[in-house]
Amino acid sequence: MADDPPRPLVEEAFDRLLGTLDQPMLVVTARRGDERSGCLVGFAGQVSIRPARFLVCLSVQNRTYRVARHVDHLAVHFVPESSADLARLFGGHTGDDVDKFACCTWHDGPHGLPILDACDNRFVGTVVERLPLGDHVGFLLEPDHVHHGADGHQLDLHRAKRIDPGHPA
């Protein structure tokens, strides 16, 4: 239509609108053989109650995506407010250059996935489907191991905005 604003203006306004939302930041970890990977994720959320389903979106630029596209399970960690350093590690560095797991405490969890000790709230999910979504791929997960060990505030998007990404989105 002639009255529609140009696409770049719509995208800019949409970015500003969504920038007002405050959602929790998550770290997703994956393992393929001996290769471990993990990244900070801002695009994620529950998408179904019954059956339980959760969608995490990984940038196609990201090393974690390159590992995750070949695996059947992912671990999703809810980063507590007190662990902003963990968010900086997994969001501000790329696994192409840094062994992030050498810089934090973790242990092997279900399906051999790396589990971050600082994140007492987490789940492991089976990848039900991979959905191309533009510059990200959505991984639809069905939880099969859940650990809810702490109440309290999670690190949110507004606090994580100061992290310079290890890879462009």
**3-state helix/strand/coil string of 136-167:** EEEEEEEEEEEEECCCCCECEHHHHCCCCCCC
The span from the first CA to the last CA of the chain, in angstroms, equals 31
CA angle, 109 as apex, 103 and 115 as ends, to 5°?
A: 30
pLDDT higher than 70, residue 160 = no
Block residue for tokens 């900086």: 88
Displacement of CA 27 from its chain's centroid (Å):
5
The predicted model scores a pTM of 0.84
User: How large is the average pLDDT for residues 141-150?
Assistant: 93
- Cα–Cα distance, 76 to 119 (Å, whole number): 10
Residue 25 has a pLDDT of: 81
pLDDT higher than 70, residue 155 = no
Both structure tokens of 148: 């809810």
CATH code of the domain occupying 40-160 = 2.30.110.10
